Amino acid sequence: MSLVTSDARKPVRGPELMRLLLTNEFGLLLLIVVFGALFYSVSSGFLSSFNLNSMSRAAAINVMIGFSMMAVIATGGLSLAVGAIGVCSAMVCGWLLQEIGLPWPYALVAAIATGAALGAINGMIEVKTRLHSFIVTLATMSLFFGIMIFLTQAQTYRGIPASFVSFGRMKVMGLSATLGPTLVVAVALIVLYNFTRVGKEMLAAGAKPQAAMLSGVRVGRMIVLAHAISGGLAAIAALLLVARNGAAIPSMAGQQGQDWLLIAFLGPVLGGAVLTGGKISVVGAFLGAVLVTVLSNGLLLMQIGDFWLQATLGATLLLAVLLDLARRKFLERRAQ
């Protein structure tokens, strides 16, 4: 009668492998390899130790920015404020280091806490007012960034301890050491969404709030938490940037942090996240951001020009969502 457990016991290796090859993640991996090979064949400098180092450093930051957005997408929302929160946290860190003279580990923790707190504010406004996260974060983006500029008078903090900066420049097996924190966070997120109650409840709340609520999930709390996680991750991304630049600069994410927006969405969306919530892939978002980094780096190396890069990335996002749509239409038709 019941087929529930029979399938699990039967070792069906062929289709399993097939399924793995058909996943979004494998597709991304393939694309990374293909583009990597392509760029290498055009310019051997692509795999030079210098380029590998700078590429891995960029990837570390891009992945983290993507994770920051993904945390909110999981609950069906979005955050325009990731950049602003990141910069605010970085400036808090810079201020604590330069003006207060706090030891850098404490300053880092304080910065991450700031990011999480700002994220939580977004979440609380969203839950209390029941406004869409778009408009809430549009307003707080302007608010957070404005307050930060007001308080810092738009000055750059350069008093970053050498030990922290050298971490940003350290190499481990040819790759930037900044990949370390990113990998740790990736593993933590995989654990969070697959092996913890809170992670699963966040996804359930995102997929169908009403159903989750009636099954005992505290939906409001999950939304606040998701925004807090997003804020914390945005802070980490900004700190990695501080380590790379050796300074906390108010303009490091562009006008009100908006320069992060595209990359923040590219990773999760390429990785197969559903924007209405409830479905994300940590590995997919990681690979998506890596793919974007490889593309950017390769195109720059091919001297396509800094300026065409942004257009290419925009086109990539467009292509990704269109392909995803086509894929889903195809699957639907096949299912009928």
Partner 1 sequence: MARLISQSDWATPMIVAVSLGVLISLFNPAFLSTFNIQVLLEAVSINVLIALSQMVIIAIGQMNLSVGALGGLAAVIFAGLMEVFGLPPIVAGALALGVGLAGGFLNGLLIGLTGISAFVITLATLSIFKGLNLAITQAQPFYEIPDAVKHFGNATLFGPFPIIFVPAALIVVLLVVFFNRLPVGRWLLAVGGNAHSAELSGISTAKTVVIAHAISGFLAACAGVLLVARLQLGQPTIGDDWLIMSFAAPIIGGAILAGGHVSTVATVFGVLIVAQITQALVLFHIDPFFVQVVLGLMILAAVSVNQWRELRMQRAGQE
Partner 2 sequence: MSKIAFETRSVSKFFPGVKALQGVSMQMRGGSIHALLGENGAGKSTLIKLITGVYRPDEGQLFAGAEPVNFTRPHDAIAAGVGVVHQERNLIPRFSVAENMALSQLADRTIAPIDYAALNEQAEPWLDMLGLDVEPATQVSRLSVAQMQMVEIAKALSQQTRVLLLDEPTASLTPMESKALFDVLHRLRDDGVSMLFVSHKLEEVKEICDTVSVLRDGVNAGENIAMDNLERQDLIRLMIGREQNDAKPRHGRSGEQSVALELKDVSTSLGHKGINLEVKRHEIVGLYGLVGAGRTELAKAIMGAAAITEGEVLRDGQTVEIDNPTDALHGHRIGYVSENRKDEGLILEHSVLENAGITIWRKSANRLGWLTGASVKKRTVPFLEKLAVKTPSLNQTVGNLSGGNQQKIAMAKWLAAGVKVLIVDEPTVGIDVKSKAYLHELLHELANDGTAVLLITSDLPEMISLADRILVMDEFVIKGDVKNTGDYKTMSQSVMEHIHHTEDELRRAKAS
**Residue 186 CB, nearest distance to partner 1 (Å)?**
24
Comparison of 58 and 141: residue with beta carbon closer to partner 1: 141
Q: How far apart are CA 68 and CA 286, in angstroms?
A: 11
Amino acid (1-letter code) at residue 166 = S
Do 94 and 213 touch, CB atoms closer than 8 A?
Answer: no
In sequence order, the 6+-apart residues with CB closer than 8 A to the CB of 233 are 64, 67, 68, 71, 115, 185
Q: How far apart are CA 286 and CA 193, in angstroms?
A: 14
Q: Is 215 in the site for partner 2 (CB under 8 A)?
A: yes
Find which of partner 2, partner 1, none residue 303 binds, CB within 5 to 8 Å per kind: none
In sequence order, the 6+-apart residues with CB closer than 8 A to the CB of 272 are 24, 25, 279, 280, 281, 284, 324
- Of 316-335, binders to partner 1 (CB under 8 A) are 317-318, 321-322, 325
Per-residue mark of binding to partner 1, 107-146 (x: CB under 8 A): ------------------x---xxxx-xxx-xxxxxxxxx
For the chain, the C-alpha Rg in angstroms (whole number) is 21
Residue 229 sits at the vertex; the CA angle it makes with 228 and 233, to the nearest 5 degrees, is 120
Q: How far apart are CA 156 and CA 148, in angstroms?
A: 12
Sign of the dihedral through C-alpha 75, 80, 81, 82: positive
Task: Using DSSP, state whether 92 is helix, strand or coil.
Answer: helix
Comparison of 137 and 176: residue with beta carbon closer to partner 1: 137
Per-residue mark of binding to partner 2, 267-296 (x: CB under 8 A): -------x---xx-----------------
Q: Is 170 in the site for partner 1 (CB under 8 A)?
A: no
Comparison of 202 and 253: residue with beta carbon closer to partner 2: 202
- Of 250-269, binders to partner 1 (CB under 8 A) are 254-256, 258, 261-262, 265, 269
Please report, as ranges, the residues that interact with partner 1 according to CB under 8 A: 78, 125, 129-132, 134-136, 138-147, 149-150, 153-154, 254-256, 258, 261-262, 265, 269, 275, 305-315, 317-318, 321-322, 325
Site residues, partner 2 (CB under 8 A)? 1-5, 7-8, 191, 195-198, 200-201, 203-204, 207-208, 210-218, 274, 278-279, 335
